[in-house]
């Protein structure tokens, strides 16, 4: 495993690369406020593939958006396509967790010629919204954006374990999984550490698309798709929502695994086996 930096038009995108350089290509996209390290437990189980796990912009070691700009969901599509271009990959398999899975889905819908197979964990398309809440969401997002002080000094964290505890306070995962993510998401400052992630990532989104739009995007996915979902299911990815979206896939397969949201980190043997067998269809193809 080694660090890579991909130069793109909107700034450098960092990542981790592992596996067989001649193997089938896999681009891995992490969840919100995670980073490439979230795929480290899974990588030994995908050693026959050329796996590149990105730090999405604003996360880990990647560049932040320019001052004055926001993290708009559709922009992630072009970050992924820019990364594929920088790697020289005409097409690849996409592997995504949570937000990264949602991004992978819209990339597959918007640029189907770039995606061979799609494996998503705890996601199938982005979060949707309802019209009745659109006005309040917009007001809250505008107020939060205007209140953000870009010149504010970062909060100093005394030590790694304090940072791990902070992550565990908002995320249900094992301590080992949290430490992997946190270690990559810290930078040294005087007196301790500070988060490397962009504070703008924590702002509420201005707009969420209606579920009908999300269903339309999912229906446009041409790549064979594996969806791995945790049981019990989180509220935002309920069985009803999940099953309704699965029904729109042209070629979809669902696997439900008992566990938490970071299944791929806490059960890498199980999840790695499912992903590996699914992607082998590419490896054995012409």
Q: What does the pLDDT average to over 141-150?
A: 95
Dig out the tokens for 246 from the structure. Answer: 């699965």
Predicted local distance difference test score (pLDDT) of residue 151: 85
Q: Is residue 266 part of a domain?
A: yes
Structurally, the chain folds into a number of domains equal to 1
Mean pLDDT value of segment 151-162: 92
Cβ neighbours around 150 below 10 Å, total: 8
pTM: 0.96
The closest of 119, 68, 114 to 96, measured between CA atoms, is 119
Per-residue pLDDT reduced to its tens digit, 132-143: 999 999 999 999
Confidence of residue 2 (pLDDT cuts 50, 70, 90): very high
Please indicate, yes or no, if residue 102 is contained in any of the structural domains.
Answer: yes
Per-residue pLDDT of 101-127, as tens digits, reads 999 999 999 999 999 999 999 999 999
pLDDT for res 281? 78
Task: Confirm if 141 and 205 have CB atoms less than 8 A apart.
Answer: yes
142 belongs to a structural domain:
no
Taking residues 84-93, report their average pLDDT: 98
Q: Are 283 and 93 in contact (CB under 8 A)?
A: no
Average pLDDT over residues 44-60: 97
What per-residue confidence (pLDDT) applies to 222?
A: 98
Range of the domain at 70: 2-130+209-283
Catalytic residues: 98
Give me the residue label for tokens 């791929």. 264
Domain with residue 260: its CATH number is 3.40.50.1820
Encode pLDDT of 216-227 as tens digits: 999 999 999 999
Q: φ and ψ at 211, to 5 degrees?
A: -55, -35
Query: Are 148 and 69 a contacting pair, CB within 8 Å?
Result: no
Q: Is residue 144 part of a domain?
A: no
Any domain includes 189: no
Task: Evaluate whether residue 174 is within a structural domain.
Answer: no
- Please check whether residue 272 lies inside any domain of the structure: yes
| Percentage of the chain lying above the pLDDT 90 cut | 94
Mean pLDDT throughout 171-190?
A: 95
Tell me which H or E stretch contains 16. Answer: strand 13-19
């Amino acid at each position: 495993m080694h660090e890579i930096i991909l130069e793109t038009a909107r700034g450098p995108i960092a990542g981790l690369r592992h596996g067989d350089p001649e193997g089938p290509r896999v681009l891995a996209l992490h969840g919100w406020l995670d980073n490439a390290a979230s795929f480290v437990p899974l990588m030994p189980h995908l050693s026959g593939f050329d796996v590149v796990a990105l730090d999405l912009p604003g996360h880990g070691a990647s560049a932040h958006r320019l001052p004055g700009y926001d993290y708009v969901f559709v922009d992630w599509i072009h970050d992924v396509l820019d990364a594929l271009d920088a790697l020289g990959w005409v097409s690849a398999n996409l592997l995504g967790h949570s937000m990264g899975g949602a991004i992978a889905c819209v990339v597959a819908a918007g640029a189907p010629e770039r995606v061979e197979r799609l494996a998503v964990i705890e996601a199938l398309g982005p979060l949707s919204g309802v019209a009745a809440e659109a006005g309040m969401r917009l007001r809250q997002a505008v107020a939060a954006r205007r209140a953000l002080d870009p010149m504010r000094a970062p909060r100093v964290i005394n030590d790694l374990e304090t940072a791990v505890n902070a992550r565990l306070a908002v995320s249900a995962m094992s301590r080992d999984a949290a430490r992997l993510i946190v270690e990559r998401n810290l930078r040294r400052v005087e007196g301790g550490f500070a988060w490397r992630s962009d504070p703008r990532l924590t702002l509420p989104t201005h707009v969420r698309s209606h579920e009908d739009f999300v269903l339309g995007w999912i229906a446009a996915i041409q790549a064979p798709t594996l969806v791995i979902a945790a049981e019990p299911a989180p509220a935002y990815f309920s069985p009803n929502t999940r099953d309704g979206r699965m029904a729109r896939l042209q070629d979809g397969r669902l696997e439900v695994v008992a566990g938490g949201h970071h299944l791929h980190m806490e059960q890498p043997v199980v999840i790695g086996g499912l992903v590996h067998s699914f992607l082998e269809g590419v490896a054995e193809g012409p």
